[in-house]
Amino acid sequence: MKIFNTPASQTGILLDIAALLFIVVVSLAHFVIRLENFVIIMYVFPIILVTWYSGLSRGIITSFAAGLGWYLIHYAPGVKPLPTASPMANMLGLWCAFLAFTVFIEKFRLRLIYQQSLCTLDDLTKTYNRTAFKDFTAKEIKRASRYKRSLTLIYLDVNEFEKITESRGYEAGNEMLVSMVNVIKTSIRESDYISRLGVDEFGILLPETDNNQVNVVINKIKAKLTEMTEQNGWPITFGFNIVTCTGAGTTAEALINKTTHISVQA
């Protein structure tokens, strides 16, 4: 299930290579023009990019590479060193500054992701909320229409959910919903989307999935949900409605509303 995807590993490796090449170019330019403050700022750019898109560990490696490039330009054999008492102290100081900046960028990135999650995720189940789900559905409808591929939306409703909350309390009801979502996640792909549309109503969007393929997914979900309810003694059943389209002539709101009109108990 998609939440916040990181770049593919191949893209990350290419970015790392590009960042190292950029450091080499900056180091050579530094050697020629000797504009100290300007060049140090240029060393920061690859650190920002790698940390943001490839993560903290690769950002740290990039910061060390940037510090090494700066050190070699100033203290390599045959180069007139800076008029300081300790070259090693200079290098360590710059490395510490680069590392501190790397950690700052990573913390800022994680904070931004957290803020985005507050706007797009349901607080209890950590699935997409209705607004975010509509946005993703609209994008997938356009993609399905452009490439003439099937798109399937599953509407899932928990029947008699109130029996759990009335007999066991709201915490038990919340526990059931979280368990149900975890079961569904094991039955769908990373490229699929799941959303909490109401208190006990959920939508599952399956890109590039036709009627035959969705039946396999539905059967898998039904079997796992049945096992879950039997193990916990939950007096509930589940209703499903399935709509498959190619994206043409529909909107996200229309597709979502269509799935809520008819529900087949399972």
Torsion of CA 80, 85, 87, 90, to 10 degrees: -120
Pairwise CA distance, residues 31 & 17, whole Å = 21
Look at residue 266 and tell me whether its pLDDT is greater than 50. no
Pairwise CA distance, residues 151 & 246, whole Å = 6
- Please report the pLDDT score of residue 3 as a whole number: 46
Encode pLDDT of 84-94 as tens digits. 556 677 778 88
Look at residue 59 and tell me whether its pLDDT is greater than 70. yes
- Higher-confidence residue: 53 or 224? 224
Pairwise CA distance, residues 260 & 195, whole Å = 14
The answer to whether 190 touches 1, Cβ cutoff 8 Å, is yes
The answer to which of 68-72, 191-195, 259-263 has the lowest mean pLDDT is 259-263
Highest mean pLDDT among 29-43, 113-127, 155-169: 155-169
Pairwise CA distance, residues 1 & 217, whole Å = 14
Cβ burial, residue 85 (10 Å; 0-12/13-18/19+)? exposed
Token duo for residue 252: 């996200």
- Please report the pLDDT score of residue 81 as a whole number: 55
Token duo for residue 121: 């995720």
Look at residue 263 and tell me whether its pLDDT is greater than 50. no
- Please report the pLDDT score of residue 5 as a whole number: 45
HEC string for the chain: CCCCCCCCHHHHHHHHHHHHHHHHHHHHHHHHHCCHHHHHHHHHHHHHHHHHHHCHHHHHHHHHHHHHHHHHHHHCCCCCCCCCCCHHHHHHHHHHHHHHHHHHHHHHHHHHHHHHHHHHECCCCCCECHHHHHHHHHHHHHHHHHHCCCEEEEEEEEECHHHHHHHHCHHHHHHHHHHHHHHHHCCCCCCCEEEECCCCEEEEEEECCCHHHHHHHHHHHHHHHHHHHHHHCCCCEEEEEEEEECCCCCCHHHHHHHHCCCCEEC
Return the amino acid letter for 9: S
Split at pLDDT 50, 70, 90, the class of 76 is low
Look at residue 178 and tell me whether its pLDDT is greater than 80. yes
Shortest CA distance to 243 belongs to which of 235, 251, 232?
Answer: 251
Q: What is the pLDDT averaged over residues 147-160?
A: 92
For the domain spanning 130-265, the CATH number is 3.30.70.270
Token duo for residue 191: 């490229």
Look at residue 78 and tell me whether its pLDDT is greater than 90. no
* Domain spans of the chain, in order of start: 9-120, 130-265
Cβ burial, residue 51 (10 Å; 0-12/13-18/19+)? buried
- Please report the pLDDT score of residue 82 as a whole number: 56
